Every structure is written in C-alpha cells, then in structure tokens.
Amino acid sequence: MKEIRIHGRGGMGSVKAAEVLVYASVMDGKYGNSIPFFGFERQGAPVTAFVRISSNPIRPKNRVYNPDIVIVLDPTIMNAVDVFEGIKENGTLVINTTCKPENLKLPKNVKGVAFLNATEIALETIGKAITNTVMLGAFCKATDLVSIDKIAEKVEEFWGSKNREALYRGYEDVQVIEF
C-alpha cells in the first residue's frame, strides 16, 4: 500500500485531486481511499488530503501520518506546515516550485523529488493558478502508481479538456531526480 499526503490551500483542488486519484486507481484495478482534512474552511487556508492506493483492500480510514509520497500544490504552504512530517524512509516529494532540488531543504529520508513550475503551466493551460491537475500529471510520472490515461479520463469528466491538457503538461514537464 502506498500512502500519499497532498498539501495545498483552500480553492486549489487538493481534495478533488485526492478523489481523482482514488477514482483512477479503482479504474486501474486497484483499491483506493481518500480523506480530506480542513483547518479553517476558507479560500487560501491550508488544506490537506490523504490518499491510499493498494492492490489489496484498504482497511485504514484515518489520516496518513507516515506518507510514502508528499505532493505540494503550493510551495508557500511550506512556510505554514511541515510537509515532511512523518515522511517514510525513501520518501518521494512531488512539488510545485521554481527552485532546483538542491535549493530545497529536504530531510535525509526523501530519496526522490519531482519538481516543476505547475503554477506557470496552470496559467498557460487553464488560465488560473489552480495546480491540482498539473500536479496529478507530475505525480503520475514520478510514481507510476496510476495510469495517466485513467487519471485523464476523470480529469476531463470533472473539469474538461483544458485541465486534461494541464495534466499531460505536468506529466511531460516534470523533472524527476532520485538521490
């Protein structure tokens, strides 16, 4: 089982991204569940969503405290939340950033980083700085846990063709580094 934690802000689609991952994983013949967590329920406030994906039925229905993968939709969230809290040994970070990985303060247990400027891609493709679909594409390339085509089906169903384009741009533009 892979456990994933998504960090974003209200209005960025963190919770919907988690739902799309679960739907796509089920379409891919796997099991999945997602759990949202809201602090202050307002746009721009930190939001965390939790996802589990497995080839076997999933029993836990609680938050993910020790994720294998952390997805950061908005890099400014790192000033408000410890996104690395509990990340497992050999963890993977998928981050929206303009920084190079060597300029990020990564804990030693992070062994893979997937990075891209998802904000720029979102603005170019959907006209808004909502990065969830771009980051789903980056996640897909970095982890190979869920088929990009299954995610694309759900993305288009929920948000339309511009978001599908954003998804594929995230998949193509992400840079993945293993340490």
* Tens digit of pLDDT at every position of the chain (179 positions): 999 999 999 889 999 999 999 999 999 999 999 999 876 666 788 999 999 999 999 999 999 999 999 999 999 999 999 999 999 999 999 999 999 888 988 999 999 999 999 999 999 999 999 999 999 999 999 999 999 999 999 999 999 999 999 999 999 999 999 98
For residue 38, what pLDDT is reported?
72
Quote the DSSP letter at residue 76.
G
Q: What is the distance between the alpha carbons of residues 31 and 63, in angstroms, rounded to a whole number?
A: 17
- Match domain 2-178 to its CATH number in 3.40.50.920, 2.40.110.10, 3.40.920.10, 3.40.50.720: 3.40.920.10
CA angle 104, 48, 122 (to 5 degrees): 65
Q: What is the distance between the alpha carbons of residues 177 and 23, in angstroms, rounded to a whole number?
A: 27
Smallest CA-to-CA distance from 83 within 55, 53, 49 is with: 49
The structure's pTM equals 0.95
- Max CA separation in the chain (angstroms): 40
Identity at 48, one-letter amino acid code:
T
Backbone angles phi, psi at 83, to 5 degrees: -70, -20
Residue 104 tokens read as 């990020």
Helices (H), the chain: 14-27, 118-125, 132-143, 148-159, 161-173
Quick one: how far is CA 50 from the chain centroid?
Answer: 10
